[in-house]
Amino acid sequence: MNILVTGGAGFMGSSFVRYLIKKKLVDKVINLDLLTYAGNLDNLRDVKDSSRYKFIKGDIKDKRLLADIITEFDVKRIVNFAAETHVDNSIKSPQIFLETNILGTAALLDIATEFDIRFHQVSTDEVFGALDEDDPPFHEKSLYDPRSPYSASKAAGDHLAKSYFNTYGTKITISNSSNNYGPYQFPEKIIPLFITNLMQDKKVPVYGDGLYIRDWLFVEDHTRAIWRILVKGEIGQSYCIGAGNEMTNLELTKKILDLLDKDESYIEYVQDRKGHDRRYATDTTKIQKEIKWKSEIKFDEGIRKTVEWYKANKWWWRKLK
């Protein structure tokens, strides 16, 4: 079976591509990526010479290109990781988020419908909005209540996928994951930003009071979840993915400071993000029961591995900062 992975040069997409190839799970992976500032072919250096791998530079909105790829490679599955992903950028300039995350997803859905191909939409728990400290976690039936241009654009992608399933019978699945971390994450996101700042003896900027709560999932756990959904997931369904590792940004920061032998004088409190969501968390009962997936990497192990990776791979991130 041949699979089209979009956004495979990004953080989570490249983890998925490496996994498929190293485990020999498919005959060929076609990685379609526009190589925006977040796309990086260095993420695929381990697999780039594999006969199972093919890279194509292009835009997910380009339906002619998509149709050519599907035909030429006899693609049977599409997994869409391609997106604009940084919330702060979406607050400054929403337009590109609407184009890629909404129109791009729509183009992929059109092609999946036309060629009758199974399509998986990689989405986020941020589509559900924000939780208070004592609210139960988000689940698959939670109401959508996006609060940033990023999460609104991802919510629109999810709605389109569900509407194509209902209207045309398109074979879709959706996943809504909590925050991922791990190797190859672009150093604009909090964990790699903080690790690399501290390695350069710079301070780490903590938004507001630092008490925003996130659930941190190691990227390789996410990768396994997506593969399980492709193999075992029910068409038309969505699945929440999370790790049960809720912590405040301040707790997270202190763990990173510890691992890099730095003290709290390296914390710099900065002006809060506009519309900052207080807490995200997901209930993973459905994916655990129906698909037999659960996260395996404990946070302390994952963050240690991540810090080690950034220490051993300065060549990778130095050119990105």
Ligand X SMILES: NC(=O)c1ccc[n+]([C@@H]2O[C@H](COP(=O)([O-])OP(=O)(O)OC[C@H]3O[C@@H](n4cnc5c(N)ncnc54)[C@H](O)[C@@H]3O)[C@@H](O)[C@H]2O)c1
Residue in 25, 109, 121 with CA at minimum distance from that of residue 61:
109
Contact region with ligand X (CB under 6 A), list: 9-17, 67-75, 242-250, 290-298:
9-17
Is residue 60 near ligand X by the rule CB under 6 A?
yes
Phi–psi pair at 269, nearest 5 degrees: -75, 130
Task: For the segment 108-137, give every residue that binds ligand X (CB under 6 A).
Answer: 122, 124
CA distances to 125, 148, 252 from 215, rounded to whole Å, are 10, 18, 10
Q: How many residues bind ligand X (CB under 6 A)?
A: 30
Task: For the segment 80-99, give every residue that binds ligand X (CB under 6 A).
Answer: 81-83, 85
Active site residue 125: yes
DSSP 8-state symbol, 136: P
Quote the least distance from Cβ 175 to ligand X, whole Å: 8
Q: Is the dihedral of CA 251, 256, 258, 259 positive or negative?
A: positive
Is residue 59 near ligand X by the rule CB under 6 A?
yes
Task: For the segment 258-317, give every residue that binds ligand X (CB under 6 A).
Answer: none
Query: Which residues are paired to 6 by β-bridges?
Result: 32, 80
**Which residue from 22, 23, 27, 35 is in contact with ligand X, where contact means CB under 6 A?**
35
Is residue 34 near ligand X by the rule CB under 6 A?
yes
Contact region with ligand X (CB under 6 A), list: 48-56, 163-171, 178-186, 205-213:
178-186
Rounded to the nearest angstrom, the gap between the alpha carbon of residue 105 and the centroid of all alpha carbons in its chain is: 15
DSSP 8-state symbol, 143: P
Is residue 39 near ligand X by the rule CB under 6 A?
yes
CA distances to 119, 124, 160, 245, 282 from 107, rounded to whole Å, are 12, 20, 10, 35, 29
Residue at shortest CB range from ligand X:
10
Please give the residue ranges that form the binding site for ligand X (CB under 6 A): 6-7, 9-13, 32-36, 38-39, 59-61, 81-83, 85, 100, 104, 122, 124, 154, 177, 179-180, 186
